[in-house]
A and B are shown apart, each in its own frame.
Chain A
Amino acid sequence: MATLLLVTVLIPLVGGIALFARPDLDHKTARKIALGAALATLGCSLVLVFGFDPGVTTPQFAFGPAEGPYGLSWFERPDIRFALGLDGISLWLFALTSLLLITAIFASWESITERSAAHYALLLTLETGLLGLFSSLDIVLFYVFFEFTLIPLFFLIGLFGGPERRRASITFFLYTLAGSLITLLGVVALVVVHYQFSPKHVLTFSMPALTQGLQTLPWPAWQIAAPWSSSPQALIFLLLLAGFAIKVPLFPFHTWLPLAHVEAPTAGSIILAGVMLKVGSYGLIRFNLAMTPIGAQAMFPLLAVLSVAGIIYGALAALAQTDVKRLVAYSSVSHMGFIVLGLFAMNASGLNGATIQMLNHGLTTGALFACVGVIYERFHTREMGELGGLWNRLPLLAFFLIVAALGSAALPGLNGFVGEFPILSGMFAKSPRIAILASTGMVLGAFYLLVMLQRVLFGPLRVPTGHDHATAHDHDEAHDRGGDHGVAIRPIGWHEIAGLSPLLVMILLIGVLPEPFFARIRPAVDPVVVALAKEGVAAPQSIEAPVPAALPPRKSASRKNQAGGATKKQSNEPPRRGIPMNPPAAKKVDEPPRRGIPMNPPAAPDTKKTAAPDAKSATSK
């Protein structure tokens, strides 16, 4: 099975390379190749999903023994490994990616006719990036995939997007890149902190090992929760947050999203909203919550307020939109707020709900964007003012759109409910006020979605004149149905049905039978909940007493001594020399948060230290 996972990740890449190699392929051949690759990937992921053992808590389908180290060795020293594996959190996002790619390909079936080989190649490469990202067990591998996904999406928007595609793609790229780089600092800080303070000074890049190790790190300062400015966890949390908050996107870092969505081609929007946004929330649960749980506790007020603000603000902004696609884009801001809110409820209910909601949001938003694509292809407009009564001519579209919208509005029996309800109840247990505020998003969410349905589907038929005839006769499926207004509207095609119905089936399935999904999520989420339940220490003063006893073993101190004379800082003597280079985080315990903590202290020594320990380990060997 481990090989199968590797193969699953690589199939789309192979397909993508094949398509890149033959850029002159006509769109009919290209789309067939792409569909073949995507279907093969989906088939493999389904095998993985059905082969997934819900009882196992360690990552599955990984090379190597169950307790690690996982994967194939990639770099000898430092020990960076090409480690892939899935657990309950990543499993569904992995499957979602392979499913949404089918929808994305079908959504471009007719609309992409030029440079289509490149288009599909980019889509497939993007899929590999995302599959790899979700299945990475190694932090370096994760980051490589994390940044890699930007490239194909940048070109997808930049080459195949709407009139303002250049601005959109550059904004998207720079904004997310800026965030990712700060996240990189956080990631490095995690590795170094773990290396420096773990009992055996293990330099590991394995995500499960890091998660485990950081939770039991024998470093008193690591347990400080408040004030946040003197808590290394909180600072690393903020570093990590930068990139993920932009990816999610968390209010107020969301402004790239509407622009990117409106300009992106339908396939790009489906993947962007369906999967890319989940990268942010996935990162939050994997890193921010699992690795810096006390930092997360310290930052709870900030995150709770931002997500509630996002929920309400996104919903209000969606309510005012007249462009359907923009409306769906803002609805994503609102709904991703729910996911973050669930994560920061920091209890089982909230985390489970948030994790399944990542899948749910991918399905409903993917379906909504696909429906918008269907509309746009026919009428070349997304303005709700120019559309109306489409139910009349496109009853199947109406069906898909209504189910997707109601699913998105968290109607029980459809998938949104099984995510949002636990999220909100979890948050209510944590903070009733926040939960009540967030619940208004439930009402507003129904509001803008129903307004959209009413304008687009209900009422007398209204379509923009002029466009339809041209498109209708372009395609072989099109046939004039006659009727009033003399408007010929191409009925919904088989490929559109094929793209939407799997999503619809999943929306219903999760809504009606969520338990099989939860059963696989729970074991993976439980350790995070346990980690979050651990109380942080309130003030640095209280920790000062046990410092000597609980401090990392002398060895580390002496080693530090060699490295830069850091031991002195642990004595009462105020730090004199060596400030610029390496104020190890331990110092913060002694020193009141006077200097605050510049961005780099955890990171700056890292670069230093990674070199030094290497030398040390070399000597020991």
Chain B
Amino acid sequence: MHGSFLVRNCWLVPFFPLAGAVAAAIGGKRLGASAHIPVVIGIGLAFLVSLGLLGAAGADSTTVLFDWMNAGGLRVPVEFRVDGLSTMMLSMVTFVATLVAVFAVGYMAGDPAYPRFFACVGLFVFMMTGLVLSNNYVLTYVFWEGVGVCSYLLIGFWYAKPAAAAAAKKAFLVNRVGDFGFAIAIFWLWTVANNHDLSYSVVLDPANLKLIRPEAIFGISLLLLWAATAKSAQVPLYVWLPDAMEGPTPVSALIHAATMVTAGVYLIARSMPMISSDPRVLAIISLVGGITAALAAAIAITQTDLKRVMAYSTVSQLGYMFMALGAGVGSVAQLAVVAAMFHLFTHAFFKALLFLSSGSVMHAMGGVIDMRKFGGLRRKLPVTCATFAVGGLALAGVFPFAGFWSKDEILAALKLASEVSGGAEGTGWGWVYGLVYWVAVVTAGLTALYTGRAFFLTFFGPERLPTAEDLAAAGHGSHDDAHTNEHGHGHDDAHGHDTHIGHESPLIMTFPLVALATCAVGVGLLFGPTGIFEGHLEHTLGFENLGHAEHGTDWNSILIGTFAALFGLALSYPLFALPSRIPSILATRLGMLYRASLNKFYIDEIYAAVIVAPLSFLAQLSKFADVYIVDGLVRLIAKLPRALSRSALAPYQNGLIQFYAAAGVLGLAALLAILLLI
């Protein structure tokens, strides 16, 4: 059968992008400006296979390819799982990746390291699809770090730019801190898992889960959450994501908005059969999500860099997904996971769209992305303006755009969770969900506000283009160092900005925008209320055992959510679209708050002072301790024999025969005494 053939050969999905990446890497020099062809084809093929798998889903099958490693007790096979969750993720990842890759063909044109870019993108898609398909915690970890390293290479793509280099390092390290938790979780799971088998199908089997002590489940779940907070940019480990915007914009769209950052959400959703048994962990997950969503939205509202607004928005939206996952108590469990994954799904489309639209703006503005430097672009960039508007409406959660449906589901899940766990027979965590519910509502308003702000500042108001100094300061100065040096001949202008400043992007870039915009309008309506999404996701390992009950439509939440969104948008129009002095007045009135938000609540500075500084102090301490204390001791010991002989033994070698004789006799006497007396 066609379907089962694809299921058995699901390895094709990661394989095609990898093959494309290898071809681009090896043939890079020869292919030159057409280095994107193998990668785009590879990702496209992967998308087609994913679509086939999506049709064949429900099969819920695992395919073991080979034993990857077997270190005595730790055995890791390469095994892939095709079920509702993985096929949904696969189709989404490969679809967005295809469009982003096509967009990048236009965006990256002329960059001297063009082949390297596409090789890395292909490698990333390989890793990401592998992560999604994996049926084993260790294998997931492998791809988990793999996407991390691709992210590192792509953030640092313009390596000559110090900010990019620092951001790449920061992203990798913060993720490593998260991976530390993931690794410990795996070690722990490995020691308690049935037969030391870390396959999802074994670990998440209800019968096996019962064998694990509740404390172990609690600890492992928290560690998995820790890992997820790094990859999915949640409090406290979200700090790397905003900086990651130093990478090329298609990378931001693909990796740092639509796909990689959702890996944490995916991991929690995948482990839901295990995690949902502990209400404490669920409450913590919800709380983390709530704090993150609110904090990031509060920061996004004052940022002046368009991409950074989007980055904080991503952090905030990921927070929504965590809120929803955490709401998976009792009979709400299934609804909660579906809500989270649905938001992940819709978010991927509209956020990729928003990033690519920002990229299109940046492209047209010669690499300038500061919203204070341009404005009123709606006439110059009509397509971009329209697609950005669609994305913005979806993000704000306005009916009937995609975001509306998923955000509404999340609100409904939170409401139910607070009801279920708040009652007399509840877990006592009801107040958390009640609180998080209102946080979610307020954040929805904030989301609409900052989205409106970004949109109106960019596309409305008097038409302004960046000045020559701006251009010199932004794109060029930072990029050309890498470029001119690399091949010696001057591609001074990576994107060919100079020739078409303030013009709409070429078709190869606007086409993906339009495609994504169509999705941002349609996917919510198509999959949400129809129940297709939910039905598809039910065919996921262990999900049938998650609590589920019939829930009516929660009209209250729909109304409240919609009101918050419309209120935010309505507020943003007079504030930012029309010439108005209110924002600046507000900024001065709320001086402290404004500055705190503008400076991202000084979280980076706090981390630098609390973590980085003590660490460097310890490092310096070790460096000097090594030279002066540890090695000093060794040298001291090495000096002992000589010192001993000089001070203690040398005086006896005095050359007096009488002394030697006396000493000899005395020694003999002493020996005799010892022998006789003891």
Binding site for B on A (CB under 8 A): 174-175, 252-256, 258, 313, 316-317, 319-321, 347-353, 356, 389, 391-393, 395, 406, 411-413, 417-418, 421-422, 424-426, 428-429, 432, 435-436, 439-440, 442-443, 446-447, 450-451, 453-454, 457-461, 481-484, 513-515, 518-519, 522, 525-526, 529
Nearest opposing residue in chain B for A258, CB measure: B626
Give 5 new A-B contacts, CB below 8 A, not counting A412-B141, A514-B68. Answer: A253-B634, A258-B626, A320-B623, A429-B187, A529-B72
Q: In whole angstroms, how far apart are the Cα atoms of A432 and B183 in the complex?
A: 12
Given contacts A347-B73, A352-B71, contact A424 B183 (CB under 8 A): yes
Contact of B486 among A395, A406, A458 (CB under 8 A): A395
Within the complex, the shortest CB–CB distance from B151 to chain A, in Å, comes to: 12
Q: Name the B residues within 8 Å of A484 (CB-CB).
A: 484-485
Q: Name the B residues within 8 Å of A348 (CB-CB).
A: 71-73
Given contacts A432-B188, A442-B183, A484-B485, contact A515 B142 (CB under 8 A): no
Nearest opposing residue in chain A for B632, CB measure: A255
Contact B187 A514 (CB under 8 A): no
Q: In whole angstroms, how far apart are the Cα atoms of A254 and B626 in the complex?
A: 9
Contact of B188 among A175, A356, A428 (CB under 8 A): A428
Q: Name the A residues within 8 Å of B149 (CB-CB).
A: 406, 411
Contact A446 B188 (CB under 8 A): no
Within the complex, the shortest CB–CB distance from A126 to chain B, in Å, comes to: 25
Contact B184 A428 (CB under 8 A): yes
Q: Can you list 13 contacts pairing A with B, beta carbon distance less than 8 Å?
A: A253-B634, A316-B615, A319-B615, A351-B72, A356-B71, A395-B486, A413-B145, A422-B69, A439-B184, A454-B169, A459-B165, A460-B162, A481-B488
The segment from B89-97, B172-180, B515-523, B566-574 found at the interface with A is B172-180
Given contacts A392-B485, A412-B145, A457-B159, contact A446 B72 (CB under 8 A): no
Contact of A522 among B70, B482, B621, B633 (CB under 8 A): B70
Contact of A436 among B141, B184, B615 (CB under 8 A): B184
Q: In whole angstroms, how far apart are the Cα atoms of A255 and B68 in the complex?
A: 38
- Count residues of B near A (Cβ-Cβ below 8 Å): 58
5 closest Cβ contacts across the A-B interface?
A348-B72, A458-B165, A428-B187, A422-B71, A412-B142
Q: Name the A residues within 8 Å of B634 (CB-CB).
A: 175, 253, 255-256
Q: In whole angstroms, how far apart are the Cα atoms of A53 and B183 in the complex?
A: 34
Nearest opposing residue in chain A for B116, CB measure: A395
Contact A422 B74 (CB under 8 A): yes
Contact of B481 among A353, A418, A460, A482 (CB under 8 A): A460
Contact of B638 among A174, A320, A424 (CB under 8 A): A174
Contact B142 A425 (CB under 8 A): no
Q: Is B301 an interface residue (CB 8 A)?
A: no
Q: In whole angstroms, how far apart are the Cα atoms of A504 and B176 in the complex?
A: 23
Given contacts A174-B638, A320-B623, A428-B184, contact A393 B176 (CB under 8 A): no
Q: Is B117 an interface residue (CB 8 A)?
A: no
Within the complex, the shortest CB–CB distance from B306 to chain A, in Å, comes to: 25
Q: Name the B residues within 8 Å of A392 (CB-CB).
A: 159-160, 481-482, 485-486
Q: Name the B residues within 8 Å of A417 (CB-CB).
A: 142, 145
CB contact list, B178-202 vs A, under 8 A: 179-180, 183-184, 186-188, 190-191
Digitize B122-148: 1 where CB-to-A-CB distance is under 8 Å, 0 elsewhere. Answer: 000000000000000010011101100
Q: In whole angstroms, how far apart are the Cα atoms of A413 and B481 in the complex?
A: 32
Contact of A421 among B138, B488, B623 (CB under 8 A): B138
CB contact list, B191-247 vs A, under 8 A: 191
Question: Which of A413, A425, A442 counts the most B-chain CB atoms under 10 A from its CB?
Answer: A425
Contact A252 B72 (CB under 8 A): no
Q: Name the B residues within 8 Å of A391 (CB-CB).
A: 159-160
Q: Name the B residues within 8 Å of A428 (CB-CB).
A: 184, 187-188, 190-191
Nearest opposing residue in chain B for A412, CB measure: B142
Question: Which of A252, A442, A443 counts the most B-chain CB atoms under 10 A from its CB?
Answer: A443
Q: In whole angstroms, how far apart are the Cα atoms of A461 and B482 in the complex?
A: 9
Contact A443 B191 (CB under 8 A): no
Contact of A443 among B165, B180, B481 (CB under 8 A): B180
Binding site for A on B (CB under 8 A): 66-74, 138, 141-143, 145-146, 149, 156, 159-160, 162, 164-166, 168-169, 172-173, 176-177, 179-180, 183-184, 186-188, 190-191, 481-482, 484-486, 488, 615-616, 618-623, 626, 630-631, 633-634, 638
Q: How many A-B residue pairs have CB under 8 A?
A: 183
Contact of A313 among B145, B146, B622 (CB under 8 A): B622
Given contacts A319-B619, A425-B190, A458-B156, contact A353 B71 (CB under 8 A): yes
Q: Name the A residues within 8 Å of B191 (CB-CB).
A: 425, 428-429
Given contacts A392-B160, A425-B186, A442-B180, contact A522 B488 (CB under 8 A): no
Given contacts A174-B638, A175-B634, A482-B488, contact A525 B183 (CB under 8 A): no
Within the complex, the shortest CB–CB distance from B637 to chain A, in Å, comes to: 9
Q: In whole angstroms, how far apart are the Cα atoms of A526 and B149 in the complex?
A: 35
Contact A446 B172 (CB under 8 A): yes
Within the complex, the shortest CB–CB distance from B540 to chain A, in Å, comes to: 25
Q: Name the B residues within 8 Å of A446 (CB-CB).
A: 172-173, 176
Nearest opposing residue in chain B for A526, CB measure: B72
Q: In whole angstroms, how far apart are the Cα atoms of A352 and B621 in the complex?
A: 34
Nearest opposing residue in chain A for B188, CB measure: A428
Q: In whole angstroms, how far apart are the Cα atoms of A440 and B616 in the complex?
A: 15
Given contacts A413-B146, A458-B160, contact A320 B619 (CB under 8 A): yes
Contact B69 A418 (CB under 8 A): yes
Within the complex, the shortest CB–CB distance from A291 to chain B, in Å, comes to: 20
Q: In whole angstroms, how far apart are the Cα atoms of A442 and B187 in the complex?
A: 14
Nearest opposing residue in chain A for B620, CB measure: A320
Contact A459 B162 (CB under 8 A): yes
Q: In whole angstroms, how far apart are the Cα atoms of A461 and B165 in the complex?
A: 13
Given contacts A175-B634, A425-B187, A443-B180, contact A321 B69 (CB under 8 A): no
Q: Name the B residues within 8 Å of A389 (CB-CB).
A: 159-160, 485
Within the complex, the shortest CB–CB distance from B623 to chain A, in Å, comes to: 4
Contact A412 B146 (CB under 8 A): yes
Contact A525 B72 (CB under 8 A): yes
Nearest opposing residue in chain A for B630, CB measure: A252
Q: Name the A residues within 8 Å of B482 (CB-CB).
A: 392
Q: Name the B residues within 8 Å of A436 (CB-CB).
A: 184
Q: Name the B residues within 8 Å of A350 (CB-CB).
A: 72
Contact A424 B187 (CB under 8 A): yes
Within the complex, the shortest CB–CB distance from A135 to chain B, in Å, comes to: 24
Within the complex, the shortest CB–CB distance from A526 to chain B, in Å, comes to: 8
Q: Name the A residues within 8 Å of B618 (CB-CB).
A: 316
Within the complex, the shortest CB–CB distance from A610 to chain B, in Å, comes to: 26
Q: Name the B residues within 8 Å of A418 (CB-CB).
A: 69, 71
Q: Name the A residues within 8 Å of B69 (CB-CB).
A: 418, 422, 514-515, 518
Contact A255 B630 (CB under 8 A): yes
Q: Name the A residues within 8 Å of B142 (CB-CB).
A: 412-413, 417
Q: Name the B residues within 8 Å of A411 (CB-CB).
A: 145-146, 149
Q: Name the B residues within 8 Å of A422 (CB-CB).
A: 69, 71-72, 74
Q: Name the B residues within 8 Å of A258 (CB-CB).
A: 626
Contact B622 A320 (CB under 8 A): yes
Within the complex, the shortest CB–CB distance from A588 to chain B, in Å, comes to: 19
Contact A317 B486 (CB under 8 A): no
Contact A443 B176 (CB under 8 A): yes
Q: Name the A residues within 8 Å of B622 (CB-CB).
A: 313, 316-317, 319-320
Given contacts A446-B172, A518-B71, contact A317 B626 (CB under 8 A): yes
Q: In whole angstroms, how far apart are the Cα atoms of A40 and B486 in the complex?
A: 39
Q: Name the A residues within 8 Å of B160 (CB-CB).
A: 389, 391-392, 458-461
Contact B484 A349 (CB under 8 A): no
Within the complex, the shortest CB–CB distance from B552 to chain A, in Å, comes to: 46
Within the complex, the shortest CB–CB distance from A397 to chain B, in Å, comes to: 13
Q: Name the B residues within 8 Å of A320 (CB-CB).
A: 616, 619-620, 622-623
Q: In whole angstroms, how far apart are the Cα atoms of A482 and B489 in the complex?
A: 10
Contact A458 B159 (CB under 8 A): yes
Q: Name the A residues within 8 Å of B179 (CB-CB).
A: 442
Q: Name the B residues within 8 Å of A254 (CB-CB).
A: 630
Nearest opposing residue in chain A for B624, CB measure: A320
